[in-house]
Each structure stands twice: as C-alpha cells, then as structure tokens.
Structure 1
Amino acid sequence: MNPRIHNALTRCLHAIALDNTFGYSPSAEQKAQLDALAVEIQPLIDALAAEPYAGKGLGCGYLGHRGYRTPWAGMMYQLRGNRSGDSLSWKDRIEVLFDTAGLDASEMLAWTLQVDDDILRDHLLLHIAADLAIEGEMARVEQEITPRLRPDMAHRADRVLLMEYARRGDVDNFLRKHKKSEQRKERHTLLDARELLVEQVAARQGLDAALRLCEETKGFGDSYRETAMRTYAATVNVAAMRAWIAAHATLFASTPGLEEELLVKAYAKGPRPDGIDSNDGSDPFDELFARVDALDKSLRHGAARLRDALLLDLGMAVGPGARRLLCRKKIGNASIKRELDG
C-alpha cells in the first residue's frame, strides 16, 4: 500500500478513537483538537484528488436509492478543503482512501475492524458489502459482513444484496431476499428496489418478461407494469412502440395519456430509423404533437401536467427550430416553457 495512504488511514483511526473517547458532547477544546487532526490530513486528501485515479471505480458508501453510490470524484469534491473533525467526515475519508488505494475486501475489513466506533464501523462494513456485491461476491457479504454488523443493522446488508440483485435483473435471488424483508420498516427501499428490478428485467430480458414478473409476483402491480413499458419505450422506435400498443390495447383502457407518453419516449429516447425526413411524412412528429396537444390538461406527470411534460420532451427531441417553438408555445407552465428557450 502507498505509505501516504497507510499513514492517512492510521491517522483516521486515531481521530475516531479520540472522538469516541470524547463522547457525544465534546468540549470546545476537544472539538478544536479533532479539527486540528483534520487540518493535518487535508493536504494529503487534496494531493490525492489531484492525482490520476487508480482505484476500482466502484464508488463509495453502500447501495442507496436505485443502487446509487457516490463516485470517487464526488467524494473527493466533498472532502477537498474539508477541515471538519466530525465523526462522519472521518468515515468519508476512510472510504475514499480505501477506494483510492484500490484495496480488496479483506484489506478493507482488516482496517475497518480497528475502528473504535460501532456506528462508523457498521457504515464501513456496508461500504465493503457494496463492493463485494458489485463484484458478485454475494456469499461473502452474508458470511463475512452480516455477522459483524450490530443486530439492528444486519438488515442493511440484505438491503445491499437486494439492490444489487435488482441492478442485475436477477429475479430469483431478488425475490428470495425480498421475502425476508420487513415490509413496513423497509417500505420505501422495497418500492425503489422493485421498480429498479422491473426496469432491468425489461431492459435485459424484454418487455414480456417484465410484464410476466408484474403479473405473477405478489407486490408488483399496475404501476410496475407502466415502469416496464417506459423502459421498453426508451429502447425502440415509434413504429415498434405503436405496434406493441396496438397488440396490447386492453392495457391502456384505464390509463389515459400513457400511450402518448410511451410514443413520445420512443421518439425522444429510442433509436431513430435512417432516412427520416420531416418533409415526406416519415417523421411522426406532427402526429405525436397533435395527440399530446389534445390531452386532458388535468392529467398529471409528477408535479407537472402530463401534457406540458410531453411537449417539453418533444421540443427537446426535435432540436432548435420552428417545431421546438411550436411545442414551447403550447406549454402552459412558465418554468417548463423556459426549458425550450434558445
């Protein structure tokens, strides 16, 4: 290991131990002592941030919303110039040092087990769990990480695995973990993970597989079917999306605006066939614009009107010019309208 990083990790462990000794209400003098330690280590953090990155590229922290981890550059941005001696800052420094050095799970675990603070140690264990899960070492998470977490934190390791299974579109293992989850306690995490799973199944195995998952699995319903359709729409052209809608017309009987949403998404995000010409009728813009313009203005898309949101998507898709200005003119919300300025 780079001697500078070894020295920095040692300093972080010392600072955490000192902070733990001071307790929850350190005096002003004790806070100043911790801040002084942060000032001492900061030049190394700044120097490492300026050097070429040579880590594993897996990110920092455990798998949060939609499996997100803070990338190394994001962590370095947060830490550059940070002279705070609070406990979470030391945890962040250790994670970014682990990542910078490209340490493997065993090496990180050896350092983590020296952390003299239960809460911070658990956070670092979950960082290791996320690395292992992303690398496909699920069994090691259950064997080496979960048993070392405090009992009230053990479910967090399962959450890491659940989110990684969702990211991979691994239905069988996802459902195995999902059944063991505390449905009320982890409601929001499970909603997030289920949506991600449906998206990944639709992207990797196709829309029919994702719809079967929604129809056959308890806990998945209409909203997840729509998630699957939206994912599919971003991968196909308008003609393919239109054909699929026609073949499954009954799915749209009670969801006004969904057809238009999917067609616009296919137009904006999906592949464009070669040879489309706005002058020869092969470009479906005029048809889509007319359908969106005719939508009921009471239909919502999050906090905005669905009609405004789709007009924005159409305007962004066509690029600068008369058609974008036409979309802009029809949008009712002033802040959304400004998105098409220029």
Structure 2
Amino acid sequence: MLDKTTIKKALKLCVNSLNSEENRIQNAKEVTLTIRQLYKEPYQGKGLGIGDLSWRNFRAKWEDYRIRWEDSEKIQTGLDWKTAFLLLGDAMNVSEVEIFNIAKNIEEDILFNHVLKHIITNCVVQNEIEQALSYISHFRETHIFEHSDNQDLGYLIILKHYATKGDKYNFFKYFKLAKPAKNRTEVADCKDWLVTCFSENNSLNDAIKLCTHRNLGKKFYQSALKPFAEKGMYQELKKIFVNQPELKQPELNTEIKIYIESYLNAVKNSQKIDDDFEWLFSQCLKIDRKIRFGDVKLQDAMLLDLGIASEKQDYKERALKCRKAIKDNRMKRELVLK
C-alpha cells in the first residue's frame, strides 16, 4: 500500500517537472507508476472530485481518469502534470493546506491558479466557505489580453455553490465580486441555475418573484418552470400556463420548450398525460428556423424530443412525422425508429 510520504514525493515531482525540463521523462515514469498503483488500491479520498465546478456543478471524479493512465507513461503538457498533481492529492486525501503549500512552488501562474481553483472547490463542496474565501487572495495576477487579479475565479466558484443551494441571499452577496460583466456566460449560467434550484424548493410564485430582482429578469421564467418540466408535470404546467399566461413568453418560446421537455419526461416516467401530439407538433412548426438552441436549431431540437416521446409510446407514424420535419440530417439520425 502506498503511503502519504510516497504521494507527497510524487506531488513534488509534478511541481519540479512543471518548473523544469530536467529529469521530466524519468519523473513522468515514476509519477505514472504511482498513479497506476493507486488505481489498484482502495480509494482513500473523500470523493470530492477533480478540478473546479463546471456546468450544473459537474465535477470530474477520480475514476474518470483511469483509462488515461493505463497505457502511457508520457505526461506531455503542463495541463497533464496539473491533472496528475490533482489526482495524487485526491486519491490519498492530502489536505487542502498541504496541497496548497506544495502547489505554491509552481512557477507558472496560470497552472497554479488552476490548482487553486481545485482547492477552493474542495472547500466549497464541504461547506467550508470561510476557508475557501481565505484562499481567494492567493490567486496570481496574469496578463492575457488584459491584466487580471483573477480573484473573480474564486468568487465564481462561491457563486455556483450558492446557486446550487438556491440561496439567493448569499448568491447576491458575492455576485458583483464574480465580475458579471467580465464572466458574462458563466454568471448567466449561475443565474439560470439559481432560479431553477430556488424554484425546486420554493413555490413557483416565489420563484417568479425572485426573477424580478434587478440582476435577473423575466427571461428566467423558464428557469423557474424547469423543475416542473424535469419531473414530467405536463398536466400541472397546462394549468399554470392557463392561470399565468405571462409565463408563456412567445418571444422566447418558453411555453413550447417547457411543454416539450415535460411531455418527453412524462412519457419516460409512464405518467398519464393528455394526448396533445398534434397541437405540440403544430407549435414546433411555428418556431422561427433562425433561432438556435446550442449548436442546433431550436425547431429541430423540439421535433426530435417530440419524436422520441412518440417512439417511446409506440406511435411510429408520429415519430416518422417528426423525423421528416427535422431539417438537420444529423438530428434525423438520432431519431431511431425501431
């Protein structure tokens, strides 16, 4: 069984190889063998994850990297060495303080900041917010296109944490510190997730009221309705849209997006729902073809989900009807008719 002394030696080899090319090949062999051995032994970490929080607070797990280390002894890039460093610390539950004290010897500022985000995230997922905050001042300054003290990167992690909890008070406490003008996309995702998680644990009316906050807005009504759609509450949503027509937002296609998602989830969950296929299909066809939904057209995405729901209900003709209406050939292929 490997002990922490061996792991700390490997951690220092990672730092040495990040700082210098000397003995890098030999260091890579030793570090790789150590990681492979760790994968053969019982995992001793806390299962907190690797790296910082990404979309919807996803965080890679220790097991996710197993294949990466099975066949090669090459650790070629700075990011590879950084990943090895984080894996070693995670597997043997090396404390955040110990990881920080070793990592601060990394000379490359960007890579050090990557490790610091991992440390702060570890603190946050354990609800050790004060400790997380204490590390933020240690971000190193960089100059990529423009100067940055990078402390907003730490506050973004805090923001994601409170968004997941649906904690509007602490979310807005740190909102400006996350520099929303600079991190526009990331903060928009956080706001979406805040409203969704708040709606999950509070009434819809309270979630709609939250959307009136000056840093949110009506465009987040869809986020407030998301928990209903995810649970397949199609029948309930029909009542909601009748009683609160302002939530339909035809200019944002909120109604059809929520209906299609809830319809598909209701079918997956074998919930009893009205047979509204023809109406839903007609509404999909009314969607402006110019509107995108990620990398695809919104209309095609809605028709695909409606087609999948129909296929699961054994309505082959309906599924085929949706497939024919989809313009994107890649998405047509996703709708497999059995």
Q: Is the TM value for this pair above 0.5?
A: yes
CA pair 312-254 structure 1, distance change in 2 beyond 3 A: closer
| 1:102 partner SS | coil
Q: Which among 232, 236, 260 is matched to residue 228 of structure 2?
A: 232
CA pair 18-73 structure 1, distance change in 2 beyond 3 A: closer
CA pair 312-87 structure 1, distance change in 2 beyond 3 A: closer
| 2:220 partner SS | helix
CA pair 330-313 structure 1, distance change in 2 beyond 3 A: same
C-alpha contact (below 8 Å) 1:61/1:130 kept by paired residues: yes
* Cα offset, 1:7, TM superposition: 1.7
Q: What fraction of aligned residue pairs are identical, expressed as a percent?
A: 24
1:157 aligns with 2:154: yes
Q: Which residue of 2 aligns with 1:176?
A: 173
CA pair 82-154 structure 1, distance change in 2 beyond 3 A: farther
1:75 aligns with 2:65: yes
C-alpha contact (below 8 Å) 2:53/2:121 kept by paired residues: yes
C-alpha contact (below 8 Å) 1:301/1:309 kept by paired residues: no
Counterpart of 1:307, as a letter, is Q
CA pair 333-185 structure 1, distance change in 2 beyond 3 A: closer
C-alpha contact (below 8 Å) 1:34/1:86 kept by paired residues: no
C-alpha contact (below 8 Å) 2:43/2:92 kept by paired residues: no
**Count of aligned pairs:** 325
Counterpart-to-counterpart distance in 2, 1:115 and 1:299 = 48
- 289-298 or 6-15, which moves further after superposition? 289-298
Counterpart-to-counterpart distance in 1, 2:85 and 2:325 = 52
1:263 aligns with 2:262: no
CA deviations on 1:12-54 (whole Å, 9 max, x unpaired) are 313423542x4xxx6xxx4xx3122102221221232344434
| 1:148 partner SS | coil
Q: Which residue of 1 aligns with 2:144?
A: none
Counterpart of 1:311, as a letter, is L
Counterpart-to-counterpart distance in 1, 2:222 and 2:271 = 31
C-alpha contact (below 8 Å) 2:153/2:178 kept by paired residues: no
Counterpart-to-counterpart distance in 2, 1:275 and 1:70 = 33
Q: Which residue of 2 aligns with 1:34?
A: 24
Q: Which among 123, 131, 143 is matched to residue 132 of structure 1?
A: 123
* Cα offset, 1:117, TM superposition: 5.2
Q: Which residue of 2 aligns with 1:100?
A: 91
CA pair 117-275 structure 1, distance change in 2 beyond 3 A: closer
Q: Which residue of 1 aligns with 2:200?
A: 203
Per the normalisation by structure 2, the TM-score is 0.83
Counterparts in 2 of 1:1-342, with a 5 A limit? 3-17=2-16, 19-20=18-19, 22=20, 30=22, 33-80=23-70, 81-113=72-104, 115=106, 118-143=109-134, 145-150=135-140, 152-215=149-212, 217-252=213-248, 254-255=250-251, 257-270=253-266, 276=272, 283-292=274-283, 294-296=285-287, 298=289, 300-302=291-293, 303-318=295-310, 319=312, 320-322=314-316, 323-342=318-337
* Cα offset, 1:255, TM superposition: 2.6
C-alpha contact (below 8 Å) 1:311/1:330 kept by paired residues: yes
- 323-332 or 185-194, which moves further after superposition? 323-332
Per the normalisation by structure 1, the TM-score is 0.82
Counterpart of 1:334, as a letter, is N
* Cα offset, 1:182, TM superposition: 2.4
Counterpart-to-counterpart distance in 2, 1:210 and 1:245 = 15
- 239-248 or 91-100, which moves further after superposition? 91-100
CA deviations on 1:235-263 (whole Å, 9 max, x unpaired) are 24221010000111133354374322222
